[in-house]
Chain A
Amino acid sequence: MCLLPQPQNEHIELHRKRHGQRLDHQERKRKKESREAHERSHKARKMIGLKAKLYHKQRHSEKIQMKKTLKMHEQRKTKQKNDDKTPEGAVPAYLLDREGQSRAKILSNMIKQKRKEKAGKWEVPLPKVRAQGETEVLKVIRTGKRQKKAWKRMVTKVCFVGDNFTRKPPKYERFIRPMGLRFKKAHVTHPELKATFCLPILGVKKNPSSPLYTTLGVITKGTVVEVNVSELGLVTQGGKVIWGKYAQVTNNPENDGCINAVLLV
C-alpha cells in the first residue's frame, strides 16, 4: 500500500486553486502563443514527402475557410438589398399546380415505360460505355497433358450467378466463373432520395458489351441488373408492392471490390 498520499480526483485543479500558478505563468503562456505562428511556418517550410502533401492540402482548406469567414464578416457590415426574399406561398402564374394534368402525366409515363420495355430501349444514366473485348474479360486457361489445349476460359470480371446455379462437370465447362468473383449484393443509389441501399441482385438484364456476357452474368460498368427493392417498400398506383427494379452499374466492380449502381426510376 502507499506510504505517500495518492493523487485523487481533481488534484491538479486543487493544487492550482491552493498554490496558484508559476510567477511567470502568464508571461510564458503569452510568449508560447506568439511563438506558434513562427513554429507553424517553420514546419510548413521544412516538411517533405507525403506528410507534407497531406499537411499542405489540409492547410489549404483551412485557409479557404478562414478567407470565407473573413469575407462573411466584412459583408455583414454593409447593408444589402435582399432580392430573393419573396414571401412564401407566392408563386408566379405559370408555376401554379394543376392537379388534373399531373395525374394525366403519370399515366402517360406508365404507358411510355411499357412501350419502352417492349422495344427494349432504356433511358439510362450511362448511355455509352467502353466495350470490353474478349481478351480483357475472358482469360485463356491451358489444359491437357502438354498444356496445349486452350478451349477453356476464365472470367476475370465480377459476375453474378443465380441461387440455383450448379457448375457443369469441370471436364466440360468452358467458362469458369471463380467463386471469389461472384457477387450477390449491390450498393444501389436512389437518384431522387440520394440514399444508398445494399440490395440483393436478382439477375443480369443486359451487358452492353456483348450478349455472351449477359448470358454468363458478367457485370461490368454500364451493365443493367435487376435488384430486389422490397426493402424500399415501393408501391404501385394499383396498390401492388414493387419488389424488383432495374439498376445500372456505375463503377468498375473488379477494381473496387463492390458493385455500385443507380436505380432506374
Chain B
Amino acid sequence: MALYNFKKIMVVPTSKEFIDITLSKTQRKTPTVVHKHYQIHRIRHFYMRKVKFTQQNYHDRLSQILTDFPKLDDIHPFYADLMNVLYDKDHYKLALGQINIAKNLIDNVSKDYVRLMKYGDSLYRCKQLKRAALGRMCTIMKRQKQSLEYLEQVRQHLSRLPTIDPNTRTLLLCGYPNVGKSSFINKVTRADVEVQPYAFTTKSLFVGHMDYKYLRWQVVDTPGILDHPLEERNTIEMQAITALAHLRSAVLYVMDVSEQCGQTLEQQLELFNNIRPLFANKVRDGTCLSGFPTLFPQKIFADLTAEGISVIETSTLTEEGVMTVKTEACDKLLAHRVDGKMKGKKVHDVLNRLHLAVPAKRDEKARPPFIPEGARIGRKTMEVDAPKRKTERDLEVEMGDDYILDLQKYWDLMNQDEKYDVIPEIWEGHNIADYIDPDIMKKEEELKVKAGEYETDEESEDEEMQEIRQLAKQIREKRKLKIVCSKDKDVHGPRLPRTVKKVERKTLEKEMGDLGLDMTGKDDSHYAVNARRSRSVGVAKKRKREASVVPTSRTRSQSASRPPRDQSGVRDPKMAKQAKKLMKNQQKDMNRQGKKGEADRHVFDLKPKHLFSGKRKSGTNDHR
C-alpha cells in the first residue's frame, strides 16, 4: 500500500521510557497480592501471568513500531529514494532489524521462563524466576537505545516531509541556487517558501498546489543544484536530483539572466545540458528570470528552441510572463500525459464505452449554436487581460506619494457642487445629528399618501357623511376613555366566593318563593336540618362578630379562640421563626437522601461497586 502521509507513525519512546512504561503497566494491570500459603498452582499462575503480560506489552509496542514505519520496498520509488538520501537506507533497515530481533528475543525469553516456572515449587523460586525473566527482557530493551533514538529522529523528520503525489500532474522547478525558484512558486501557488538573497535558502523539497483548467496541479520547488558530478553531490542537492529522477512532471529550468545568482548564463546553460539525462521521459521547459529587463543575445537559446524547448521570459517582481509560463507548461504536460494514456492499454477499455452521438441532419437548414450577446461580450472581456476600470490601487501606484483616498467623489447628491462641503457636527449649540430634518415625519406621510397608502374615496362622500364619521370617531374615543376610567375604580374591593357566606334559611325560602316554588312545610328538608345541626344562633350572637368580618370555614370541633398548633408552642414570633428554621434544617438531610422520615433506614445499595472493586491503594474505603 502506498503511503504518502507519514504523519501517523506512533511516537518511538526512548529505551528508558519504554522500560518504565511497560514495567509500571505490569505492576498496575496485574494482580499484586500473593501469599506463601496459596496453592502452588495459584502462585505459579500469578507469576506466569506477569511474565506473559510484560512480554505481550513489549511485543505489541515493538510490532506497532515495525508496522508504522514504511518499508522502503513497499512505497513509491520516489519516496524510497528520498528516504535513502535523507536517512541512509542501510542504517534505517538495520535499526528496524534490530527492533525485530529484540522482539523475537523477548518472546523467547518469556517462553523459556514460563516453561521453567512450571517446575517452581515455592513462592520464592517462582518470584525469582519472574524477576529474572523481567530483568532479561528489560536488558534486551536497554541495548536498543541507539536504534530507538535514531528511529525517533527519523519519525520526526518524516512527519514533516511534504506530501507529494508522484502520479499526479506536477511542475518541477530546478536550476542553480538563488535564481528565483521559490519566488516563482510563491507567486503561482499558496505555498509560503522562504525567499532570501543568499544561496541554498531552500534546503529541501517544497510543494504547492494551483488550479488550471479545472484541475489541481502540484508545483514542486527544489533546492538549487551546482554543477558537479553525481558522486560529489551533498544531501541537499541529492533531494533535488531524486525529485528530478522519479517524478513524472514538467520540468521548468529556471535561469537568472541578470546573473545575480553568481553564475553566468553560460554556466547555467552548461548545468542544463549536464542534467539533461534526467529529463528522460519528462516534458521540458526553459524559463528565464530577470530582475531588470536586459537585452540578451538570442542565439544562445536558438538551439534550445530548435529542439522544442520553449524559452519564456518572466519576472516575479513585475509579474510579467508568470501566467504564460504556467499555461504553457501545463498545456505541454497535459498533452504529454494524454499522449501517454492514449498509447497505453487502459484506454481501450474506456474507448470502447465512449461514443460521441451526433444528431442526424433532418433537413438542409443550418442550426448553429446560439450564444447570447451578453455572454459573447463577457467572454471577450475575460479574454482580454486589460482591466475594465481603473481601480484605486492603480491610481495610487500612478500618483505615488501624492495619492489621497477620496471617497466623496463617488457620492451621488442632488447638487453636485456640494460634494466637498464640510459638514459640521455642532451648530448653534445643537447636535446636527438630532435635527436632520424637522419636517421629516410630515414629509414621510406626504410621500406615503402620494404613493397611495391611505387611499379612501373621501371626495365622493358629502358633508353629512363626513359629519357623521367625525361624530362616530368622537364617540369611540369617549367610550374607550370611560372604560379605562371605570376599570381604575375598585368599587367592590377584593371579592370572596359566594360559598363563604352563610345563607340564611329565611332568605333562601323567600327567594325561592319569589321565583315560584312552594317553600311551605320544609322543616324536614336537608338545609333546615343542617342549619339546626350547626351552631345555634345564640352562639353566633355571643361572638358579636362584625358584619365586615367574614366567617372562616371551620368545623365545630375546632375552637376559634385557641391558636393553631404550630403557633401554640412558642408565642414569641422571633423564637417561633427560629424553631421553624431548626425543623427545616433537620429535614434537609433526610430530603436529600430521599428518606421518608427519621425512621426510614432502608439502604438501596448495600454493596456499591465503586467501594469494593479495584486495587486497595492508599486512601479510605468511604469514598475512594
Contact = CB atoms under 8 A, between A and B. Distances in A.
Interface of A: 1-2, 4-11, 14, 17, 48-51, 139, 156, 178, 180-181, 252, 254-258
B128 A255 contact: yes
A178 B119 CA distance: 9
Interface residues of B, number: 34
Contacts of A14: 192, 194
* From A1, A178, A252, residue with most partner B Cβ within 10 Å: A1
Contact of B206 (A1, A8, A50, A178): A8
A169 B132 CA distance: 35
B236 to A, nearest CB: 12
Interface of B: 24, 27, 112-113, 115-116, 118-119, 121, 124-125, 128-129, 132-133, 160-163, 189-192, 194, 203-209, 216, 617-618
Given A5-B191, A10-B160, A51-B24, A256 B128 contact: yes
Nearest to B28: A50
Majority-rule SS of A interface residues: loop
16 contacts: A5-B190, A5-B191, A5-B192, A8-B207, A9-B206, A10-B160, A14-B194, A17-B194, A49-B617, A50-B24, A181-B116, A254-B116, A255-B132, A257-B113, A257-B129, A257-B132
A6 B207 contact: yes
A180 B119 contact: yes
Contacts of B192: 5, 14
Contacts of B133: 257
A255 to B, nearest CB: 4
Nearest to B164: A8
A5 B208 contact: yes
A8 B7 CA distance: 12
A30 to B, nearest CB: 28
Contacts of B115: 180
A8 B618 contact: no
A258 B203 CA distance: 53
Contact of B209 (A2, A10, A11, A252): A2
Nearest to A1: B216
Nearest to B27: A50
A257 B209 contact: no
A257 B108 CA distance: 13
A257 B119 contact: no
A55 to B, nearest CB: 11
Nearest to A17: B194
Contacts of B162: 6, 8-9
A6 B118 contact: no
Contacts of A10: 160
B118 A180 contact: yes
Contacts of B124: 255
B119 A156 contact: yes
Contacts of A7: 160
Nearest to B24: A51
A181 B132 contact: no
Contacts of B618: 48-49
A98 B206 CA distance: 74
Contacts of A252: 128
Contacts of B24: 50-51
Given A1-B209, A50-B27, A51-B24, A6 B119 contact: no
A226 B160 CA distance: 58
Given A5-B190, A8-B207, A257-B112, A181 B119 contact: yes
Nearest to B207: A8
